[in-house]
Amino acid sequence: MANIRGYNGKILRVDLTRKAVSVEEPKEDFYRRYLGGSGFIGYFLLKELSGGEEPLGPDNKLVFAVGPATGAPISGGGRNSVGARSPLTGGYGEAEVGGYWGTELKQAGYDAIIIEGKADSPVYIWINDDKVEIRDAGYLWGKTTTESQKLIWDELGDSLVRVAQIGPAGEKLVRYACIVNELSHAAGRTGMGAVMGAKNLKAIAVRGHRKITMADPAAVTSLAKQLRDYVKTSRFYQIMSEFGTPGRLVAFSMAGGLPTRNFQSSNFEGAAKIAGETMKDTILVGHRSCYGCAIRCKPEVAVGEPYHVDPINGGPEYETIAALGSSCGIDNLEAIAKANELCTMNGLDTISTGNTIAFAMECFERGILTPEDTGGLELNFGNAGAMVQMVEMIARRQGLGGILAEGVARSARTFGKGAEDFANHIKGQELPMHEPRYKQGMGVGYAIAPTGAEHCNNIHDDSYTRRIVGELASLGVFEPLPAQELSPAKVRMTLYASLWRHLLNCLVYCIFVPLSPSKTAELVEAITGWDTSVFELMKVAERCTNMGRVFNLREGKTREDDYLPRRFFTPLPNEPLRGVSVDRTKLDEAIAAYYGMAGWDENGVPTLGKLQELDIAWVAKCLPERVAARAG
């Protein structure tokens, strides 16, 4: 085994068709070139898929990956990444998730798992250090995540086993089904739970006992203490610890940035009723954390009748509250908490679920859907009971839920009658809960993101309107810009912010942790012993984004797939952004500018020179013939 500090030097491969398990040991330069997380995912998906594999077929591969930060005793290190060809978009699929599972995998001795093939009946994988078993999961199939975790613990006789699993939604191949770690942490986006379900894989249970080796443990401890002390004194992180991510919901609404009624407006009159402050005063009963993190931003809620909610399943965060709340016109926090619990127990991405229901509500109010279509549900905006019921129908593919389980893009084609005008998605993935007419740099990031609309690998314009702080100042961006501006300077800001976020997903490090670029390089050096730099790490991020881009080109995506839904070219009807919209011409110019700054041609194809500069010229072989010549 390679002696690589910060890693194990081992990749676990599980072939479910042949029921075979093997271990590979990459060289150190592989780790340094791709780091981990999304870097590993992009590499393996490009290297090992030839293109055109059915996302829900046995030839798709599902990759779980950690990174150098995973399992380090520092805030932000309790994460892992998951990737495959997405059943929602047909392109590059990836999601990140917190909790303890990633650390446990690393402590068991592995840096990634590659899942191949399909089991002939339901199974789960049991990893106990060096011992890896493929076990029968027939008795778990159909069970919720809550039920399955307890049954797995009972079978293995150890409640410290960490479980990543799917619920009934993944089994039913809902295209935005997610993977759930420890009952409340979700790898939510791009339908990775459906890929897992298509392979008849219910869960991966892990128990590890190895100590993770680091080059300079004292330096890691010093950085961890600095972070802990900063978190204690920062007002932002006090809000995060007290209210979680919903702590800024009212502020977003007041600024005109809260998606409301399927993005028809951006200011919700019921925002205060569903905000973090209200949650704290009513249903919040505790907080939980990811491995080693001092922030503790994960809420736990309890609700009595009529919406019984058990705190074991955590509680709703900002994206969930906005998607199932304001986007559906609902100001009933207890109903939102129940819908969140149902999503967690069934393994559904709350963002896509809420957006899909909001889309159906608009179709209902416009007469595209009728009570006959909805099974008698009055699917109007604001109907909390109907929203909760629809979550269950989607998870089980019952009635209208069977259509909505396909996502808004496919549902709109099924409904017809102009429904496409109200289906807010990019490349097939529903938008996160950040209004691109309010954050227009983010709109560019939405359009270009390899996974479809994505907020975690993106700029949040409103953070840089008065002064430049944090990572962007360290990366050479100095000029504050209005959130609604779309200029070359804003494009540059967007590109750098996106690359920084992609780097964090290669490190597998939390985006909420306030570690500067220079301190991040210090952390990587302390863990690995490499004489690294911010420059080297940002090149890893560029490799990651270019691999995702090439993957999509290989799957048939083109310049036309980099767009915003037509709704966002319509002016907002409400204050404070009444009349604001995205200008089509400026958006096209911004996308073209992004391509140029990224080293891509006018069609968004990475040039051979850029791939060579990034030391991934092999990626050019993955380009389809129709664009390979242009890349050269």
Inform me whether the pLDDT recorded for 631 exceeds 60. no
Domain segments of the chain as ranges:
11-207, 239-430, 440-631
- At 471 the pLDDT is 87
pLDDT tens column, 321-378: 999 999 999 999 999 999 999 999 999 999 999 999 999 999 999 999 999 999 999 9
Element (H, E) at 94: strand 92-97
Q: How far apart are CA 226 and CA 75, in angstroms?
A: 10
The predicted model scores a pTM of: 0.97
- The encoded tokens of residue 431 equal 């938008």
- The encoded tokens of residue 335 equal 């109903």
Q: Residue 404 half-sphere exposure, CB side, CA atoms within 13 Å?
A: 29
CA-closest candidate to residue 93, choices 41, 58, 48, 53 = 41
pLDDT tens column, 40-92: 999 999 999 999 999 999 999 999 999 999 999 999 999 999 999 999 999 99
CA-closest candidate to residue 429, choices 454, 403, 411 = 454
What kind of fold does domain 440-631 have according to CATH?
1.10.599
Q: How far apart are CA 247 and CA 94, in angstroms?
A: 27
- The encoded tokens of residue 437 equal 């007419």
How confident is the model over 282-310, as a mean pLDDT? Answer: 93
Beta-carbon contacts of residue 479 (< 8 Å; ≥ 6 apart): 468, 489
What kind of fold does domain 11-207 have according to CATH?
Aldehyde Ferredoxin Oxidoreductase;  A, domain 1 (3.60.9)
Q: How far apart are CA 401 and CA 181, in angstroms?
A: 25
- The encoded tokens of residue 209 equal 């006992």
pLDDT tens column, 112-145: 999 999 999 999 999 999 999 999 999 999 999 9
CATH number of 239-430: 1.10.569.10
Residue 106's Cβ-count burial label (10 Å; 0-12, 13-18, 19+) is buried
pLDDT tens column, 529-539: 999 999 999 99
Beta-carbon contacts of residue 34 (< 8 Å; ≥ 6 apart): 40, 42, 43, 506, 540, 543, 544
Inform me whether the pLDDT recorded for 1 exceeds 90. no
- At 360 the pLDDT is 98
Query: Can you list the pairs that 230-237 forms with residues at least 24 positions away whose Cβ atoms lie under 8 Å?
Result: 230/514, 231/75, 231/294, 231/295, 231/514, 232/294, 234/514, 237/295, 237/514
Contact 203, 150 (CB under 8 A): no
Q: How far apart are CA 242 and CA 284, in angstroms?
A: 10
Q: How far apart are CA 525 and CA 139, in angstroms?
A: 46
Element (H, E) at 136: strand 131-136
Inform me whether the pLDDT recorded for 406 exceeds 90. yes
Inform me whether the pLDDT recorded for 512 exceeds 70. yes
pLDDT tens column, 14-40: 999 999 999 999 999 999 999 999 999
